[in-house]
Amino acid sequence: MRIVAPSVLSADFAILGKEIEMLNSSEAEWIHLDIMDGVFVPNISFGFPVIKSIAKLSKKFLDAHLMIVDPDRYTERFADAGAKCITVHYEACRHLHRSVQNIKNLGIKAGVSVNPHTPVSVLEEIITYTDLILIMSVNPGFGGQAFIETSVSKIEKLRKMADVSNPSLLIQVDGGVTEDNAGILFNAGADILVAGNSVFGSKDPVKAIHNILNSK
């Protein structure tokens, strides 16, 4: 599977409606929503009103990545706002299995993310229960960072784990994704690539999405 999920964190919010219309006309199947609280990560992004506005315009699958403390308090509200997949951080959840089950009980996909310093081996007990694992290939909080090269081996290790415990698991990669490394990431075992600056910073975002999707 190959999916490109543009991150609206890199969009021009002055013309957000036009940006969503552009994504609707592109080959991107998902739209990635980076939710930051200024506590778990050193940045603040956007919340429910923006997501609801995006959901009204979007024809794509909305994918919410919660970079926040105590995400269990808000998962139902994110689902109500239009998210079809909610990903929480391994590092932010005290009872991760419960967090995943609470999301799945909402009738949507549940994901778990790990930061660059966290080995994928810690996911051994949760991988069976989740729909998606998100590998952070930069330190979360800001767009435009350089890709951390060791993320490729993490993807490969995770794919081997999934082949044993959960063959249908979706592997998502977020951070520093470009047309130059997309093929490497897909070939390593990734299914979904989150792209921010490489899409919205391009002169032709629709073409950039196409090029990422078709990278070899």
Give me the DSSP letters along 142-153: -SSPPP-TTHHH
Q: What is the mean pLDDT of residues 69-84?
A: 97
Spans of all domains in the chain: 3-213
198 pLDDT above the threshold of 90 = yes
Q: If 0-12 CB within 10 Å is exposed, 13-18 middle and 19+ buried, where does residue 41 land?
A: buried
pLDDT of residue 141: 72
CA 215 to chain centre: 19
Cα–Cα distance measured from residue 151 to residue 10, given in angstroms and rounded to the nearest whole number: 22
pLDDT of residue 114: 97
Q: Which two tokens stand for residue 15?
A: 């013309």
143 pLDDT above the threshold of 70 = no
% of the chain residues with pLDDT over 70: 99
| C-alpha distance across the termini of the chain, in Å | 14
- CATH topology classification for 3-213: TIM Barrel (3.20.20)
pLDDT of residue 20: 98
Q: Is the CA virtual torsion 154, 66, 97, 187 positive or negative? A: negative
* pLDDT: which is higher, 139 or 205: 205
pLDDT tens per residue across span 26-50: 999 999 999 999 999 999 999 999 9
pLDDT of residue 144: 67
pLDDT of residue 59: 97
% of the chain residues with pLDDT over 90: 94
Radius of gyration of the chain from Cα atoms? 16
Catalytic residue annotation:
34, 174
Q: What is the mean pLDDT of residues 47-59?
A: 97
Q: What is the mean pLDDT of residues 49-61?
A: 97
pLDDT tens per residue across span 99-136: 999 999 999 999 999 999 999 999 999 999 999 999 99
pLDDT of residue 16: 97
Q: What is the mean pLDDT of residues 176-180?
A: 94
Name the region of 83 (left: φ>0; alpha: ψ -120 to 50; beta: rest): beta
Interacting residues of 79 by C-beta distance below 8 A, sequence separation 6+: 86, 103, 106, 107, 108
pLDDT of residue 30: 98
pTM: 0.96
Strand spans (E) along the chain: 3-6, 30-36, 61-67, 85-89, 109-114, 132-136, 170-174, 192-195
Bridge-based pairing state of the strands 85-89 and 192-195: unpaired
Q: What is the mean pLDDT of residues 75-102?
A: 97
Would you say how long the chain is, in residues?
A: 216
Q: What is the dihedral of CA 145, 148, 154, 155, to 10 degrees?
A: 60
